[in-house]
Amino acid sequence: MKSPIPDYMAPALRRQGLDVSKLIYAIHTDMDLSGGSADVYCALSADTLYILTGREAVVKTKGARRLVALYEPEKMESYPLADLGEPGYEKLLTTGRLFFEKDGGAASVLLFSLGFVAQVERLTKVIKNIREGKEPLFEVALEDEPFCPKCGGRYPEPDRKICPKCLDKRGITRRLLGFFRDYRRKVLVILLVMMAGTVFSVLSPYLGSKVLIDEVLTEGGKYYGAVARTVLLILLVRAIGVGLNVLYQFVLAKTVPWIIFDIKLKIFEAMQRLSVGFYTSKRTGALMNRVTRDAMNLYWFFVDGLPYLVVNVFSLTGVITLICLLNLRLAIAVIIIMPLSILLFRLLWGIFRRFHHRFWVYGSQLNSMVSDSVNGSRVIKAFAQEDEESGRFAAVSGKLTDVDIKANNVAFTAFPLIYLFMFLGQIIVTAYGGVMVINGEITAGTLLTFIAYLSMLYGPLEFMSWVSNWWARCVDSAQRVFEIIDARPDVEDPDDPVILESLSGSIDVRGVWFEYDPATPVLKGLDLAVRAGEMMGIVGKTGTGKSTLANLMARLYDVTAGEILIDGANVKQLPLSMLRANVGIVSQDIYLFIGSIADNIRYARPDASFEEVILAAKAASAHEFIMNLPNAYETRVGAGGEDLSGGERQRLSIARTVIQNPKILILDEATAAMDTQTEVAIQESLNKLQKGRTTIAIAHRLSTLRDADRLAVIDDGKVVEIGTHAELCAKKGEYHKLYKIQLEGLKTINME
C-alpha cells in the first residue's frame, strides 16, 4: 500500500520536529494564504493539522550527481483539530480554500490553485473521519501524485494515469503503417511489383543512352549495328515497367479503400464509445471534419503519397547506385546538390505543416458556423441577423482564404527556386561531363546516360517537395484521428461488473457531487432515496441540477464524488448495457434520427413489433397526430424530414422510451411543451404503465407531478425538502412557496 506521507516530504517534516510515524496524512499544495506562490506542506496527526509554508529548492548535493529537492519552510502553523470545527472546502474560480466552521464563523487555513482540489478533498475527508471517530483513512484513496514520473507533466485526466507525452513512443508514422497489417500479403505484392517496375524504369535510360550509343551506334561496340534489336529491347523494358506499374496500382486501388474503411470505422466506433462529455466539449463541425476530411487526407496519402514515396525512394537509390558505378567523380557532382535540396524540402515541410494546421482550424470553424446558422436559421431570421451572420462568415472565410493564399505563395515562390537550383545542377554536370568526354575520360554515351539519369532524379526530388506537403496534412490528420481512437470514455463499463438478475428499481443517491467544469459544482452533496415502484417528483428552480441528476442516474456522466446505487449496487459496477436497458430517460433534449416515425419509436428496441410501436405511440398520445400525417408511421423525420412541433417531438420521445420498457423511467420535463389536455392524457397512460416501475418525474409545473408519491425539492445542488404534497405544504417551506406562486397564477387567470 502506498504511504499516506509522500517520501519527499518526510525529511522536511522531521526537520520541523514532527514525529512522522505519528502523522496520518500529508499533502502538498501551491499557494500561501495571501494567494502568493509557495510550496505548502499540510500534515495531519490524530489531533493536529500542521501547515508549513516555504519553498522547495532543487539543489545539487555534494558529491552526488543527482539533483534533490530541499524544502525550507518559512513558517509552520499548528491547528489543534479540537479547536477547529467542521472542515469544508470551497472552489473559487481558479483557486479553492480549505476552511473550518465553528460557532457560525469560518476560518480559512489554506488557499490552493485548482489542480490541488482532489488532494484537499481527500485531506478534508481524513479530518472528517477523525472527527467522526472512524478509521482516518476510511474511504480515502491513497492515489499517486497526479504527475507523470517520467516528464513531471500533469496527467491530463487525473483518473487516468497515462501521460500522452511519454506514451506516444511509437510515432504517428509507424502507427499509421500499422493499418496495413491486416493486408500484409497484398502490401507485399504491391511492394514487390513496385520494386520490379522501378528496376525496369531505371534500366531504360541505360539501354537508351549508354548501350545504344556506346555499344550499338559506335563502331567497335559490342552490339554494333543491332539497332532494331536494341530498340525492341528498349521498348520491351519500357512496356514491362509500365505493365508492372499498372498492376501495382490495380492491387493498390483494391486495398487502400478497405484500409480507409477500417480507419473510418475505428473513428466512428470510438466516437460511439465516448461519453456525452466528449461531444459537449468538441464542436460538431470539428467532429464531422475528423470523420470525413481527416480520413480522406489519409486516403489520398495512402493511394498517391505513400506508394510513390516508396517508388521514388527506390528509384533514387537505384539511380544513385548506377551513376556511381558509371563514373564516381561525375556522380559526386550530382550527389553534392542533393543534401541542399533536402534542406530546402525540410524547411518547406515545417512551413506547410503550420499552414495546414491553421487551414484545418479555420475550415472547422467555418463548418461549425455553417451548421450553426442552418440549425439556428429561425432565430437568425426572427432577430433579423442575416447580415451579421454573413459578416461573421465572411470574417472567418477571409482568414481561411488568407491562409490559403499564404500557403500558395510559399508554394509558388519556393518551387520555381528549387527547379532553378536543379537546373543549375544539370548545367554543372553537362559542362563538367563535356570536359571529361573531350579528355577521353568518359564516353559520350556515359554523359548522355548521366543527363538522362539526372532528369530521372528531378521526378523523385520534385515529388519529395509535394510529399512533404502531403505528409504534413497526413500527420496532422492522423494526430487528430488517433486522438479520438485513443480517447478513453469518461464513463466506462466496469471491469468486474455486478450482474443483477432482475431489478426492483430502488435508487439511492448518496452525497453526490458533480461538475461539468472544474470549480463549478452543479450538485453539492445531494442525497435522495427512491423506493422501488415509487413515483418521485423532483421540483426546483432552473439550473439547480435536476436534469443533471437524471443524467447521472442513467450514467450519461459519472459523479465527481459520492455514489448512486440502484438496488444497492453502485451504477459504476453495473454493466452499461444492463443499466441503459433498465433506465429509460425522456429528456428535454429531443433528437429524432433520420428515418421513419416507426423507426424512431423502435430505436431502443429494433425488434419491437409494429403493434408494440402503435401501443407505445398511443401511450404517449402520439398515435392521433401520427395518423393525421399523410404517410402516418412511415413519415420521414429528422434532418430534412417532416417538421414536427415541440410537443409532437416530445410525444415521439416518450413513445421511444415506453417501448424500451425500462424498470426505471425518468421523465425530465417530458411534457413541458404540451398543452395541458395532452399532458393529462399522457399522464393517464403513463400512470397505467407506472405500475411496478420506479418513476422519477422532473417538472416545473407542479400539476405535472400531481400523481407523485413523494416530492423532492432541489435547490443549489441539494435536496432541501422531501415528502408528500400534504407534508410539504404543511411544512410551509420552499415547496409551499412554489405551490402558492403557481396557485396564485391560476387564480389570477380565473379572476380575469
Ordered alpha helix ranges (H), 542-675: 546-553, 576-582, 597-601, 610-619, 623-628, 646-660
**What is the 3-class SS of 665-709, one letter each residue?**
EEEECCCCCCCHHHHHHHHHHHHHHCCCCEEEEECCCHHHHCCCC
288 contributes a contact to other proteins by CB under 8 A: no
Q: Does 399 bind other proteins (CB under 8 A)?
A: yes
Closest to other proteins by CB, 286 vs 672, is 286
Binding to other proteins by residue 58, rule CB under 8 A? no
Count of residues that bind other proteins according to CB under 8 A: 55
Stretch that binds other proteins, among 30-38, 137-145, 496-504, 577-585 (CB under 8 A): 30-38
Which amino acid type is present at position 489?
A: P
CA-nearest of 269, 158, 90, 287 to 558 is 158
Task: Check binding of 370 to other proteins (CB under 8 A).
Answer: no
356 or 693, CB closer to other proteins?
Answer: 356
Q: How far apart are CA 735 and CA 427, in angstroms?
A: 93
Is 569 near other proteins (CB under 8 A)?
no
**Residue window 132-171: x/- pattern of binding to other proteins, with contact defined by CB under 8 A:** --------------------xxxxxx------xx-xx---
Q: How far is the CB of 615 from other proteins (least distance, A)?
A: 44
Q: Is 95 helix (H, G, I), strand (E, B) or coil?
A: strand
The DSSP code for 443 is -
Whether the CB-CB separation of 301 and 473 falls below 8 Å is answered with: yes
Quick one: 30 or 462, whose CB is closer to other proteins? 30
Of 453, 235, 509, 194, nearest to 338 by C-alpha is 453
Pick from 78, 94, 173, 455 the residue near other proteins by CB under 8 A: 94
Three-state DSSP at 141 gives coil
Site track for other proteins across 440-469, x = CB under 8 A: ------------------------------
Nearer of residues 35 and 568 to other proteins, judged by Cβ: 35
Distance CA 91, CA 485 (A): 33
Which residues, numbered 242-281, are part of the site for other proteins (CB under 8 A)?
281
* Nearest-angstrom CA–CA distance, 585 and 665: 6
With beta carbons less than 8 A apart as the criterion, state whether 677 and 709 touch. Answer: no
Establish if 34 lies at the interface with other proteins (CB under 8 A).
Answer: yes
Q: Is 168 helix (H, G, I), strand (E, B) or coil?
A: coil
Quote the CA–CA distance of 32 and 49 in Å, as a whole number. 16
Q: Does 387 bind other proteins (CB under 8 A)?
A: no
The amino acid that residue 113 corresponds to is S
Closest approach of other proteins to the CB of residue 153, in Å? 5
Q: Is 57 in the site for other proteins (CB under 8 A)?
A: no
Q: Please, what is the minimum distance in Å from the beta carbon of residue 251 to other proteins?
A: 33
What gap in Å lies between CA 75 and CA 213, rounded to an integer?
A: 92
By the rule CB under 8 A, 410 interacts with other proteins: no
Per rule CB under 8 A, is residue 80 in the interface with other proteins?
A: no
Q: Is the backbone of residue 66 left (phi > 0), alpha (psi -120 to 50) or beta?
A: beta
Smallest separation (angstroms) from other proteins to the CB of 176:
14
480 is a site residue for other proteins (CB under 8 A): yes
Grid cell at residue 371: 451548421
Contact with other proteins (CB under 8 A) among 5, 23, 49, 111: 111
Instruction: Decide: is 357 part of the binding site for other proteins (CB under 8 A).
Output: yes
CB under 8 Å to 624, separation ≥6 — which residues?
none
Strand order from edge to edge, sheet including 86-91: 86-91, 95-102, 105-113
For other proteins, the binding residue among 57, 68, 69, 92 (CB under 8 A) is: 92
- Closest to other proteins by CB, 84 vs 530, is 84
Residue 97 near other proteins by CB under 8 A = yes
Closer to other proteins by Cβ: residue 149 or 568 = 149
State in angstroms the smallest separation of the CB of 287 from other proteins. 12
135 burial level (CB within 10 Å; 0-12, 13-18, 19+): exposed
Which C-beta is closer to other proteins: that of 8 or that of 421? 8
Q: Does 93 bind other proteins (CB under 8 A)?
A: yes
The residue ranges that bind other proteins (CB under 8 A) are 31, 33-37, 92-95, 97, 99, 104-109, 111, 113-115, 117, 152-157, 164-165, 167-168, 281-283, 286, 354, 357-358, 361-362, 364-365, 399, 479-480, 482-483, 486-487, 517-519, 716
